[in-house]
Structure 1
């Protein structure tokens, strides 16, 4: 059975269609979800895409966290459903307290849009199991508020627990400890600033490395269904 991946659209989402195409290319079935609908229609996983939800008014992701669908997603994630937040979606996950830390203005106060080298620090999450630990990938970034920050105790805890999932090899925004993505304790919720959905086709992307992110969750779901 084909896994169904819900793609949430908030007012201001830009990359929901790109995310849906990435899911399709990886072999999953994308399912459109609307921010103001509490139902997620039996999807197997959820992808929160990038963009400028609610125009990034107040703080990026701070208003989107109150969308009806987020209560449902938060409850489903607590039961083990895989959730991925990319760029603005990562901001939403942090604002929803599904992931620790926060995303702030880039240290140089400039917008960055470029292919970005990353290291996959752990393949032991629902969204990275297709990669060996330490794999280097090329996935684009495009953000003005992507600097990951947290207090030192939280950073130490993330490092010790293996919850730093992606790390910049050439830090584009001043993120603390070069962190590009983190996970929750269970490894089913992952947030990252770079955009895997923009690295799925050789014709238009800098690589196809982003396909591995979606392929990972499809493998994770298939493995779970086989148990």
Structure 2
């Protein structure tokens, strides 16, 4: 399986994502600079965290004007998996690929640490290796981690099982309905604020992010590898 890691000016966790895919999972991974905008030949796109364009205007707002976004939208429309974490989630929301918007944390300060998440949906191509209701620990680092959607959208997300992760430890930053990760309508685009690529090795604090990447690989294998 071949992963594209979409890099914008100010992306800060692209190396972490590359390490997780290439060194830990043993799959192909290639950095794609945002102006190249060519995602042909890839099986999945990963949008890492950081501060694209310095988070000027608001996080992800300037990135959505990049040449890469139209290519990303076409890639997502093809049904292939797209994962955006942290600032990557913010970019997906700004680009209209996921609902919602991001506000500053309730405490108005940057925070980092480990978040406990509850897995609510194990039917997605990102979460099949988790158990329903499982509580996992994933690192986070954000100032604009306060995910906002209106009540009508929350109802829609719940009714269609599109809320994948919720905060299980108090939701300090104020996200609506404790949401930490959501899917698009088609189910192939996932945005989440915590950073699973930082939870793939015991030496850096745990492996609760590994099942997410393994789920992507498993679903791809089921659909693309002959078992005859």
* Superposition TM-score tier, normalisation by shorter sequence: over 0.9
Aligned pairs for 1:137-148 within 5 A: 137-148=136-147
The Cα of 1:194 is off from its aligned counterpart by 0.1
| Counterparts of 2:172 and 2:215, CA distance in 1 | 26
Deviations 1:94-125 (A, max 9, x none): 00000001111011112110111001110122
Q: Does 1:123 align with 2:117?
A: no
When normalised by structure 1's length, the TM-score is: 0.96
Aligned pairs for 1:187-202 within 5 A: 187-202=187-202
Identify which range, 66-75 or 8-17, moves more after superposition: 66-75
RMSD: 1.1
| Counterparts of 1:188 and 1:40, CA distance in 2 | 16
Q: Secondary structure at the match of 2:112?
A: strand
Q: Which residue, 15, 20, 40 being the options, matches 2:13? A: 15
Identify which range, 37-46 or 158-167, moves more after superposition: 37-46
| Counterparts of 1:126 and 1:17, CA distance in 2 | 24
Q: Does 1:177 align with 2:177?
A: yes
Q: Does 1:114 align with 2:107?
A: no
Deviations 1:123-161 (A, max 9, x none): 122211111211111001110001110110001100111
When normalised by structure 2's length, the TM-score is: 0.95
| Counterparts of 2:214 and 2:28, CA distance in 1 | 12
Quote the residue 2:59 is aligned against.
60
Unaligned 5+ runs, structure 1: none
| Counterparts of 1:148 and 1:7, CA distance in 2 | 23
Is the 1:31–1:43 Cα contact (8 Å) retained in structure 2? Answer: no
Q: Does 1:158 align with 2:149?
A: no
Q: Secondary structure at the match of 1:203?
A: helix
Runs of 4+ in 1 over 2 A off after TM superposition: none
The Cα of 1:186 is off from its aligned counterpart by 1.7
Quote the residue 1:203 is aligned against.
203
The Cα of 1:201 is off from its aligned counterpart by 1.1
Q: Secondary structure at the match of 2:118?
A: strand
| Counterparts of 1:166 and 1:173, CA distance in 2 | 15
Q: Secondary structure at the match of 2:204?
A: coil
Equivalent residue pairs, number: 224
Q: Secondary structure at the match of 1:131?
A: coil
Identify which range, 130-139 or 51-60, moves more after superposition: 130-139
Quote the residue 2:33 is aligned against.
34
| Counterparts of 2:172 and 2:86, CA distance in 1 | 14
| Counterparts of 1:18 and 1:203, CA distance in 2 | 14
The Cα of 1:176 is off from its aligned counterpart by 0.9
Is the 2:145–2:175 Cα contact (8 Å) retained in structure 1? Answer: yes
| Counterparts of 2:27 and 2:147, CA distance in 1 | 30
The Cα of 1:188 is off from its aligned counterpart by 0.6
Unaligned 5+ runs, structure 2: none
The Cα of 1:66 is off from its aligned counterpart by 1.4
